[in-house]
Chains A and B, each alone.
Chain A
């Protein structure tokens, strides 16, 4: 057993190489699928199965070690810094797509429609800049843009509420009230999955009734890529919170030691803030 002021160093790591094999199989399968090779989907399933095994195995090991009390305060600080910088890297992944949205809306499209510019004169003569648009070639055909005040507004309410419930759960954890912790987490996870279900309805409506697809020019591209990657992150965050919920039920956390809870909660607040950016710049303005 590690004493309080020692730093835990694992001796051997078997899961990383499994992760490399799984991720490479998954991506090589996806690449083959995109190129139309028949082997693609099978490789993707295999890769995904290996990845899931890896995640369960790796996190399982870490949970066991955590419960065994091997992680000193200093180890927890390492985990905290690690999670913070991971979330910052995620912020910059979204920044690329927000950057694409701003660049096209603020610069590229007005330039294309500018009668004083040569490109408008010679290439896109009749194009008038506007947003939303699918460009001078009307790529993807006629579509209706997604309004802000239906499902998106409801989803904003849902995500903001889930931010409140997760904080309430945290207060319960700090006060050692396990029922408040568990109820708060159940509410948060439920709201998270409700968000994903409603977003699925929204996508269904877009594709079947509004003519709005991933192929609807730059509007469809930015809309679906931004909201799609966000939805993926909500799903990941909700899975993280589900694991935290199951661990809470088993009594893994104490008011002093609950890094996993905090990491999942930080991640949840991060997807919350990204959503606010989406609601304002993709749906509303």
Chain B
């Protein structure tokens, strides 16, 4: 198989990128689009991060200091929406675009024009969402879950926020379709499904989840729109509807959504640990089956987010046991990562440090999830800072650490230059320590009863909140080192070899291409033995 490129309808071979800004607007190249996604995600990470610093500044001391409660609520809502849809999801889509075609020996993504559109809907969606900040009544302030009736009582922002979600959903679905089609149809000869790198496998499962749940979320927010503007009664009990229906629809999307954020992280860590342990991944096939099991289970556990809302006892029991089952395949993964490191010839470059921190801290976040899966215990934890600590442990030292690890891991391949290892290690230690200063105390304030999503709190929680805020500012500003390291590596530095990491060529096709790879990678498909 070879790749042929055409410019419009002329039979014209062009192997280099176009010039100027329009290159990025019209590009169909998976690497260009991957770079666009990753850059956007990094920018949105700082936008969402700035909002979280507004939150932490306000919470540094009890009492109202800097912002009024309405704006505080807008910040919590937008922080979550931007971090989930603007930072983590596009970052993983960027990694998928850059790496999947290279890792499976394909010339590009299967549907390159669609790929362009998947990305180019995002800036418009974020513009719609950000525009709400400047409207009467401000941005949505009912939390990222947009629960009715509260969300319906806001100002002019609702239709803009909903249409932004529609655009993000269209973008995610098109990206997911492209990824599935690429993996199904574009593999090099000999690259059988059970030889796929784990990152590719985890993204395949993630793409299935996206296609099945994003439309349900789109339907749910459409019902919010018609309830507010067209007189429907989906979530209005007086008309025979039920606000709890929204919660079911939302979490049917929302629970698979959190696995959409974490499964590609598992994939990244499963690429990095074998490379730096200089051993093959332990239990590859069990990793594949565990990923698929987590994907399947994610569809049947959603109401564990709603234990306190009122559910029949049978429902509480079912969702408790079903949720606990997820610990089994997740445990398989954690044990496999540990077993991969066992007696490995380990070195601890920055990507490996972040990957190991991921294994430890994500597992910790998983355990607090297990605590909350128990319905009667959850009545105590629900809507406290304990849940805030839980999901930040799985998303920050979980998903975000995996993204940072992936960036350090593949940056030499992308740019052709080694990054500054000394600064990378500094970034790691500052980040790993501050993230625990930031989120660990929230477990205690939560267990002591501090509710989430409030700008003010009782004096008894003051110490834990002060600690948390100090951690937040150190964490936030440490990330500037990350940006500096990336820019420095793009600008220059020690040239990277093709395999970048010692012995990496055995761990995947991406290490067999030059660093940086040519504009069109694998024009002639590699033969996979």
The segment from B103-111, B381-389, B419-427 found at the interface with A is B103-111
Query: What CA separation (Å) do A45 and B321 show in the bound complex?
Result: 52
The segment from A90-98, A149-157, A266-274 found at the interface with B is A90-98
7 A-B pairs with least C-beta separation: A96-B219, A137-B238, A135-B240, A215-B231, A218-B240, A16-B117, A139-B239
Query: What CA separation (Å) do A30 and B245 show in the bound complex?
Result: 26
The answer to whether A86 and B25 touch across the interface, beta carbons within 8 angstroms, is: no
Is B7's CB within 8 Å of the partner chain A? yes
Query: What CA separation (Å) do A8 and B127 show in the bound complex?
Result: 33
Shortest Cβ distance from B178 into A: residue: A82
Is B364's CB within 8 Å of the partner chain A? no
| Beyond A27-B166, A99-B252, 18 additional pairs, beta carbon < 8 A | A7-B1, A8-B4, A9-B28, A9-B107, A10-B5, A11-B12, A11-B14, A12-B26, A17-B120, A82-B181, A88-B211, A134-B233, A137-B236, A137-B238, A214-B230, A215-B230, A215-B232, A217-B239
The answer, among A9, A10, A23, A134, for a CB contact under 8 Å with B121, is A23
The answer to whether B233 and A221 touch across the interface, beta carbons within 8 angstroms, is: yes
Query: What CA separation (Å) do A263 and B5 show in the bound complex?
Result: 25
Is B156's CB within 8 Å of the partner chain A? yes
Query: What CA separation (Å) do A108 and B236 show in the bound complex?
Result: 11
The answer to whether B245 and A100 touch across the interface, beta carbons within 8 angstroms, is: yes
| Interface 0/1 of B338-349, CB less than 8 Å to A | 000000000000
Is B185's CB within 8 Å of the partner chain A? yes
Instruction: Name B's interface SS.
Output: helix
The count of chain B contact residues (Cβ–Cβ below 8 Å) is 81
Is B270's CB within 8 Å of the partner chain A? no
Q: What residues of A have a CB within 8 angstroms of the CB of B213 in the complex? A: 92
Is B492's CB within 8 Å of the partner chain A? no
The answer, among B120, B125, B236, B237, for a CB contact under 8 Å with A16, is B120
Q: What residues of B have a CB within 8 angstroms of the CB of A94 in the complex? A: 219
The answer to whether A10 and B6 touch across the interface, beta carbons within 8 angstroms, is: yes
Is B89's CB within 8 Å of the partner chain A? no
Query: What CA separation (Å) do A96 and B216 show in the bound complex?
Result: 5
- Listed A/B pairs (10) with beta-carbon separation below 8 Å: A6-B1, A6-B2, A9-B108, A10-B5, A11-B8, A81-B180, A82-B114, A89-B215, A134-B240, A218-B233
| Interface 0/1 of B243-277, CB less than 8 Å to A | 01100110010000000000000000000000000
Query: What CA separation (Å) do A111 and B8 show in the bound complex?
Result: 61
Residues in B2-31 with C-beta less than 8 Å from chain A: 2-9, 11-12, 14, 18, 25-28
Is B514's CB within 8 Å of the partner chain A? no
Q: What residues of A have a CB within 8 angstroms of the CB of B240 in the complex? A: 104, 108-109, 112, 133-136, 139, 217-219
Query: What CA separation (Å) do A14 and B26 show in the bound complex?
Result: 5
The answer to whether B110 and A78 touch across the interface, beta carbons within 8 angstroms, is: yes
Query: What CA separation (Å) do A24 and B114 show in the bound complex?
Result: 17
The answer, among B163, B185, B234, B249, for a CB contact under 8 Å with A31, is B163
Is A220's CB within 8 Å of the partner chain B? yes
Is B241's CB within 8 Å of the partner chain A? yes
Is A125's CB within 8 Å of the partner chain B? no
The count of chain A contact residues (Cβ–Cβ below 8 Å) is 76
Is A171's CB within 8 Å of the partner chain B? no
The answer to whether B245 and A103 touch across the interface, beta carbons within 8 angstroms, is: yes
The answer to whether B245 and A27 touch across the interface, beta carbons within 8 angstroms, is: no
Shortest Cβ distance from A35 into B: residue: B156
Interface of A with B (CB < 8 Å)?
A: 1-3, 5-17, 19-21, 23-24, 27-28, 30-31, 34-35, 58, 64-65, 68, 70, 74, 77-78, 81-82, 85-86, 88-90, 92-97, 99-100, 103-104, 107-109, 112, 123-124, 133-137, 139-140, 213-215, 217-222, 224-225
Query: What CA separation (Å) do A250 and B284 show in the bound complex?
Result: 52
Is B112's CB within 8 Å of the partner chain A? yes
Given contacts A7-B1, A139-B239, contact A78 B111 (CB under 8 A): yes
Shortest Cβ distance from B221 into A: residue: A96
- Output the least CB separation between A34 and chain B (Å): 5
Is B218's CB within 8 Å of the partner chain A? yes
Query: What CA separation (Å) do A136 and B225 show in the bound complex?
Result: 22
Shortest Cβ distance from A24 into B: residue: B124
The answer to whether A85 and B5 touch across the interface, beta carbons within 8 angstroms, is: no
Query: What CA separation (Å) do A47 and B486 show in the bound complex?
Result: 38
Query: What CA separation (Å) do A165 and B125 show in the bound complex?
Result: 41
Query: What CA separation (Å) do A103 and B28 show in the bound complex?
Result: 43
Residues in B184-236 with C-beta less than 8 Å from chain A: 184-186, 211-216, 218-220, 222-223, 225-226, 229-234, 236
The answer to whether B177 and A20 touch across the interface, beta carbons within 8 angstroms, is: no
Query: What CA separation (Å) do A133 and B219 show in the bound complex?
Result: 22
Q: What residues of B have a CB within 8 angstroms of the CB of A28 in the complex? A: 128, 160, 163
